[in-house]
Amino acid sequence: MEDQELVMFWLAGDHKLAIRKGLTSIILANELRKKGYKDKLIEDFLNDFARDLKNDQK
């Protein structure tokens, strides 16, 4: 699956699927930067991503 597709799934709210298919924090940050997202918003998304990873491991 393409990085852009993984990020689209994540942005659409299907976090578990995106993570299972290979989304990483690096991919997320890089793709969001390409889309023109501001650093603060990217930071917020990365915090959400970390929380999703932690919850997924439980």
3-class DSSP string for the chain: CCHHHHHHHHHCCCHHHHHHCCCCHHHHHHHHHHCCCCHHHHHHHHHHHHHHHHHHHC
Domain boundaries, the chain: 3-57
Compute the CA torsion angle 31, 37, 43, 48 (nearest 10 deg): -70
Tens digit of each residue's pLDDT, the chain (58 residues): 899 999 999 999 998 899 999 999 999 999 999 999 999 999 999 999 999 888 877 6
The dihedral built from the CA positions of residue 24, 15, 19 and 11, taken in this order, carries a sign that is: negative
For the full predicted model, state whether its pTM sits above 0.85. Answer: yes
